[in-house]
Structure 1
Amino acid sequence: MPKRIDAPAGWSARGLVLRSRTDADRLFLRLLYGSFRAEEMAPVPWPEAVKAQFLDSQFELQNVHFDHFHADADFMVVEEAGFPIGRLYLDRKPDGWLIVDVGFLPHRRSAGLGAELLRHAHRRARQAGAPRVWLHVAPSNPRARQLYERLGFRLIEADAGPYLAMEWPVS
């Protein structure tokens, strides 16, 4: 049975739940991952079966990476009316709370849920005495970067491998 986790205010009344990830979420998380990469994969001239195999392998590698490098993180799933629609992976590190990953299915993107989750994490980080909330964003994802900047994240490192590092101080 998944553990419910403190969610943003008003979520329960709207049928939204934040809960711990379980093994039963694997298929959903694989589909969600594929939705994150759909635009990038669309022009690739591979048969759909090959694209699916590639995305399966990339999903597995990402999971291994997250589980290894963020072993103490909270891996959470967002549900709406009992159905999974998104995820938030949060690693509470001594130097700040790292948003390892946040995302939603396409039909629930741009609905404000990600912003609510990030504001909620920021409030909780402040209450816990964490100095900041930080994350990495792909330069090829300007919509996410714009959201993060609207919330208060600022670029701190432009050369963090293939990603941009951003932080939102909690003070």
Structure 2
Amino acid sequence: MKQEEFKDFSENLSVNYAEDKIRAGLWDKEDALDQARFDMLHLLPKGVMTKDHLLWNVCNEDDEKVGTLWVLEEKDTYFIYDIMIFEAFQNQGYGSELLRVLEEKARDEGISEIELHVFGHNKRALHVYENMGFEAIDINMRKRL
């Protein structure tokens, strides 16, 4: 990803992240977008040049941008902060293929684990991650009364 693309990436991710936090009942709607933007500035203060953070555009075989990927490289672990396949390209195998490519890159770089967080309401992503061999390592649960 190029630095000039970062502003749009950051804003789109902030909006989506705020919506997920609201849907999960973790943030109030009034403050969610501001909090998400704050988190983005804190995590990526230098945009695509932030140390140990890897931001990629995901392209198909026709070199058409189909999504984005944000990964933190820490010791021998990749932590996926965000994987986004744009709506028009979902359910076409791009997410699974992206995870396969990331896994291959990780092995080539000596990375031994890939971790991520997924919201419980994101059933589509959960399905993809489970099919790709990811296992739950910590589960928070809630019952609304």
Q: TM-score, normalised by structure 2?
A: 0.70
Correspondent of 1:76 among 44, 48, 56: 56
Partner secondary structure for residue 133 of structure 1 = strand
* Aligned counterpart for 1:94 among listed residues 51, 75, 88: 75
Q: Residues 86 and 104 of structure 1 are in contact (CA less than 8 Å); yes or no, is this contact kept in structure 2?
A: yes
1:113 matched to 2:94: yes
State the Cα distance separating 1:119 from its structure 2 match: 0.8
Q: Deviations over 1:137-156 (max 9, x none)?
A: 11121211110000010111
Q: CA deviation at 1:38?
A: 6.2
User: Which has a greater percent of strand?
Assistant: 1
**1:135 maps to which residue?**
116
Contact 1:28 1:84 in 2 (8 A): no
| Structure 2 letter corresponding to 1:87 | T
- The superposition leaves residues 115-159 of structure 1 with CA deviations (integer Å, 9 ceiling, x where unpaired) of 111111111112222221111111121211110000010111224
1:147 aligned partner, one-letter code: V
Gap runs ≥5 in structure 2:
24-28
**Where does the alignment leave 5 or more consecutive residues of structure 1 unmatched?**
1-19, 43-50, 162-171
- Given residue 117 of structure 2, which amino acid in structure 1 is its aligned partner? H
Aligned residues: 132
- Quote the Cα distance in structure 2 between the aligned partners of 1:157 and 1:39: 19
In 2: Cα distance, 1:59 partner to 1:94 partner? 26
- Counterpart in the other structure of 2:8: 27
